[in-house]
Amino acid sequence: MRTKLLITILCSLLGLQAVSAGGNTSTTAPIMWPVSYTISSEKPFVYPLEEIGIIYDRAIKLMDGVTTPITIQADGVVVAEATSLEIINSTSSKSTEGMLNVHFEKQNLPKGVTYQLCLPEGVIGWTEMEEGIFQLVNGAIKTSFSVPSTLGPTSGTDNGLQIPDSDCFFIFYWHFETKAVGEPKFDLYRENEKIAEIPAEVTNYAFGEVQPVFDEYMTFDKGVNYKLVLPAGSACSIYRDDIVNEEIVCDFIGAYDGNPNSFTYTWCSLYTDHSGILGEVSFRFDRPIEVSPDAKVILHEIYPEQKILMEVTPWLDTDGNCWNLVCDFGGYTRDDEWGFTIEIPE
């Protein structure tokens, strides 16, 4: 009698519910909570809705007799309902993890809206019983994510720079993987008068990038105001054609004074080699070059602090009638999340 009383008191304190399945009564405790999701309120969702993962810190199972659906809602209105559920449990030497994969009919959610993934209580449970008495199940959750209206602002080349000529490097980054829409072009203005259209190259490495590709060498007169403008809709997400860029405007000041200018490489092997291991890196020039005595190429870390990682001696490679400055970093492994900088000193 005393044992039954203690169990009843414990169940009340935990907010437990008695549920019946197949004629056998078991007690569930809705106190399992996710540790992470494959969506985030901090990162805009630029993909078609198809699958969302909910991760727990234990092995999980689907509970019997669950009828309440998992939904996507906007302002309390259901816009999508799960079509199927999948459990993936994995165990390592350090931890066990369970993922509930929630599948939806593939669709593009409307842009510019914040949504909630709504998981009812009791959809999944722990594969074990707590002290042989209680079945732990998930608590009800609502977690938010947003579909952006556009690709948003860019980083990269700043406004107000003094730039002498087209050999200088213009580049603009988005935080999303991108592709070109048609054959985009930058409009080049001199004192607010359009003087040229410059082809825009949209690439997709770790992030989306776009830069002007000057077909001919061009100088920018000293003290004169210029600007490059990439029209809205010139690039889009690789996952959704309807999420496109906003207009990019880059104002700069000409700095060409008639004196011979320095030059830089026109292509780098890292543009196509993304193995994550830094071995030989080559820089191609569009004119005959020679390597200065005692020349060094420097590898910098840019995060979490700026510091020199190594200096290597470059050499000249003219095979294939190309002028390549080549340097070997000996298999240095880079962290693609933070990156690095290779410096060719003046």
Quick: pLDDT tens for 13-58. Answer: 344 444 433 334 457 777 899 999 999 999 999 999 999 999 999 9
pLDDT tens profile 223-258: 999 999 999 999 999 999 999 999 999 999 999 887
Query: Rounded CA gap, 33 and 140, in Å?
Result: 9
Task: Give me the pLDDT at residue 6, please.
Answer: 38
Q: Is the pLDDT of residue 279 over 70?
A: yes
Q: How confident is the model at residue 12 (pLDDT cuts 50, 70, 90)?
A: very low
**pTM surpassing 0.85?**
no
Q: Is the pLDDT of residue 260 over 70?
A: no
Name the percent of the chain lying above pLDDT 90: 58
Task: Answer with the residue of higher pLDDT: 248 or 267.
Answer: 248
Burial class (CB in 10 A: 0-12, 13-18, 19+), 272: exposed
Query: Rounded CA gap, 81 and 243, in Å?
Result: 23
Terminal CA-to-CA distance of the chain, rounded, Å? 88
Q: How confident is the model at residue 289 (pLDDT cuts 50, 70, 90)?
A: confident
Q: Is the pLDDT of residue 217 over 60?
A: yes
Q: Please give the average per-residue pLDDT across 215-224, as a whole number.
A: 91
Task: Give me the pLDDT at residue 170, please.
Answer: 92
Q: Which of 69-78, 123-132, 151-160 has the lowest mean pLDDT?
A: 123-132
Give, as one character, the DSSP assignment of residue 259.
Answer: S
Mean predicted lDDT score pLDDT of the chain: 86
Task: Give me the pLDDT at residue 336, please.
Answer: 58
Cβ(250)–Cβ(159) below 8 Å: yes
Q: How confident is the model at residue 271 (pLDDT cuts 50, 70, 90)?
A: confident
Q: Is the pLDDT of residue 164 over 70?
A: yes
Identical topology for domains 155-254 and 267-343 = yes
Q: What number does CATH give the domain 155-254?
A: 2.60.40
Task: Give me the pLDDT at residue 30, please.
Answer: 79
Task: Give me the pLDDT at residue 318, please.
Answer: 83
Q: Where are the domains of the chain?
A: 11-147, 155-254, 267-343
If you count them, how many residues does the chain have? 346
Three-state SS at 271: helix
CATH of 267-343, one of 3.10.450, 2.60.40, 3.40.50, 3.20.20: 2.60.40
Task: Give me the pLDDT at residue 31, please.
Answer: 85
Give, as one character, the DSSP assignment of residue 245.
Answer: P
The set of residues, in sequence order, having a beta carbon less than 8 Å from that of 195 and lying 6+ positions away, is 188, 189
Q: Please give the average per-residue pLDDT across 140-157, as a whole number.
A: 94
Q: Please give the average per-residue pLDDT across 66-95, as a whole number.
A: 92
Q: Is the pLDDT of residue 290 over 50?
A: yes
Give, as one character, the DSSP assignment of residue 48.
Answer: -
Q: Is the pLDDT of residue 259 over 80?
A: no
pLDDT tens profile 296-331: 999 887 666 678 889 999 999 888 777 899 999 998
Q: Which CATH architecture has domain 11-147?
A: Sandwich (2.60)
Three-state SS at 148: coil
5: phi then psi, degrees, rounded to nearest 5: -65, -45
Three-state SS at 318: coil
The set of residues, in sequence order, having a beta carbon less than 8 Å from that of 66 and lying 6+ positions away, is 120, 122, 123
Name the nearest CA neighbour of 149 among 235, 44, 249, 76.
44
Q: Is the pLDDT of residue 102 over 70?
A: yes
